[in-house]
Amino acid sequence: MSAIVDKLYSSAKGETYSFRQLFEVVNEKNKKLIYSNVLSASQELGMIERSDINIDIKFEQNSISEYKIVRKGDYVVHLRSFQGGFAFSDKTGICSPAYTILHPNDLVAYGYLSHFFISKPFIKSLKLVTYGIRDGRSINVDEWLDMTVTLPTKREQSHILAIINAIDNKLHNENQIHNYMFRQRTYLLKTMFI
């Protein structure tokens, strides 16, 4: 899957933009306590409900007024730069004030860069703007915004996303079939020796 994603993004033709031309850094705080669902960054799943990660992270309920608002379609720069450090959000909620929220403009199709930001070539390119040692490394967002990316038309972006989503769905279905067959095999082996 990663090889297909790398190939699709690397072969895309289009105009070259700096990330600064594609994203606005948003620091909207949850001052009015509109949102209470806390989101956390997951490398594979993007932004997910903190309650879904099976890690009990303690926080003061009254401190959520300082949390940042993440809107559906935003990208979040989180602390795991060695894994890419970017997570796509397909939901609205709030997240740690340590995260940087990036709101894409109209040149970027919904979710188009979500797979690109976890691709090996992109992660490798982050070495130029990543500082610190080992797991403590962090991305200098201001420097990253000056890096460039080739962006195809929105129609081509949607086409690339459709291909990746079709492969994702196929892998998910095959994995489910594998799990069902494994359970059936286990059942049959148990009943065979009764």
Closest of 111, 109, 116 to residue 153, by C-alpha: 109
Tokens for 171? Answer: 């892998």
Tokens for 97? Answer: 């004030």
Structural domains for the chain: 16-152 (3.90.220.20)
> pLDDT value at position 59?
60
Average pLDDT taken over every residue of the chain: 86
131 has pLDDT over 90: no
**Three-state SS at 37:** coil
> pLDDT value at position 184?
92
Closest of 75, 61, 70 to residue 93, by C-alpha: 70
| Confidence label for 111 from pLDDT (cuts 50, 70 and 90) | very high
> pLDDT value at position 45?
79
Mean pLDDT for the stretch of residues 6-12: 87
Model pTM? 0.79
Helix, strand counts (H, E) of the chain: 6, 12
Cα distance between residue 190 and residue 103, in whole Å: 54
